[in-house]
Amino acid sequence: MTPKPPLHPIFLDLDGRDVLLVGAGEVGLRKAREFVECGALLRVVSPGFHPDFTELEGRFQRLRRPWRPGDEDGARLVVAATSDPAANRAIHARCSRRGILCNVVDVPDLCDWQAAAVARSGAVQIAVSTRGAAPSLASHARRELQDWLADGFAELVELFGRLREEYRSRMSPGIRERFWKELDIAVLLDILRTRGVQACEERIRELADTLGRDVSDSRTPQGRVILVGAGPGHPDLVTRLGLRMLARASALVHDRLVAPELLRAVPASCRIFPVGKTGFGESPKQEEINALLVDLAREGHLVVRLKGGDPFVFGRGGEEIEACAAAGIAVEVVPGVSSSLSVPAWRGIPITHRGLSRSFAVVSAFHADGTAARIPDVETVVVMMPLHSLGSVKARFFEAGWDASTPCAAIQSGTAPDEREVLATLSDLDEKIHAAGLRSPLLVVVGAVVGWAREHRAAPDHVLTRARTEPGS
């Protein structure tokens, strides 16, 4: 069965709008309280009313009778909460014909909209929906979020709202947008929680004054570039600092292999530029990527360059820093979890192990100038992206004196949903990879530690960290 697409989250302004509630039992009472709190002009139709409706007296219109066709006239929303399934279906059918959004309580298939569990504090609201599958879990999430909101976030929202109005006339639109996006929210929350709202406000004003001294409102301020390591593929393996930078980005330049979830971590207004490279295929040249980073920073953007793994492990991050430095663009680096070490670990392969491996090396199949990389004198070697040069890779190991029976592991898309592994020896490595149909991204681990991992797995396909991946991946 094809899963349904996600619900579209939306907040409705019901202040002064007509809402019809049919049914006045315990569920209807709860719904009535919610609508009255939102300022709705609420009409409640029911032959009988829960006694606690008296607490809302004067804040809704009471119609003590059964529902009649036409009661929905003028309603913005309708809720059917009667104990009669046939009546509920009739109400929904009539509303559907008239284009009125209707919610039949506890019948997800008859809900054009669904009420969410809402955490509120001041002007902040966070709604949680499970599409009706687990209301109790939505309520649990609401309670957790309520505690979080109460821990300074709502106060920070109020402070931002007041200062944004003040600075609206004191900053040009471009500078204002950059200023609010680049504020470090985690730092401000820490100041607010430990030193109070006044100290937090003083810090924001200090930053605004600094920005005002550094740039002229008559020109666009120069932005900067942040190289962020996205980790090996699993979205949970990006660093917390990397996520914070994504949340502040106004332009995102990303590799092909980063997790889709990370692309959704940027603000809705962020400009997104995919520059993924494919081995031996048509893809953007490094010089073009360098120029894009410089151009975006000159336009005033906070540019996040999201790179798979770590920017400095075969990520060409150094070249991008050189290009930005030549153009006078400031660059920061947020290290990432390198796939060269994390992917073997994810598969339960230790790169070093007492008595087996005291040293390791990470090499690429070829250097940038096309020459073959030599195999260093170590006990474990991780070869990055060797798919199109497996024969040459094997030959270099043999030239360096490695035994043909040395255990190897070839891992495709490590930590990602399409992850696959082939265990082999140096003698049959290329044949087994081709027979299995492995494809890029691929890395190969060579050394006795692979044999150790194979012996210590509970089952041939056991992965020690599998519980951290999504079900079925």
Those residues with Cβ within 8 angstroms of residue 285's Cβ, 6 or more apart along the chain or in another chain: none
Distance CA 320, CA 308 (A): 15
Question: 112, 255, 295, 428: which is the annotated catalytic residue?
Answer: 255
- Residue 277 is a catalytic residue: yes
Question: 18, 84, 277, 432: which is the annotated catalytic residue?
Answer: 277
| Residue 145 near residue 136, CB atoms below 8 Å | no
C-alpha R_g of the chain: 30
Tokens read off for 312: 């400095």
Please list the active-site residues.
255, 277
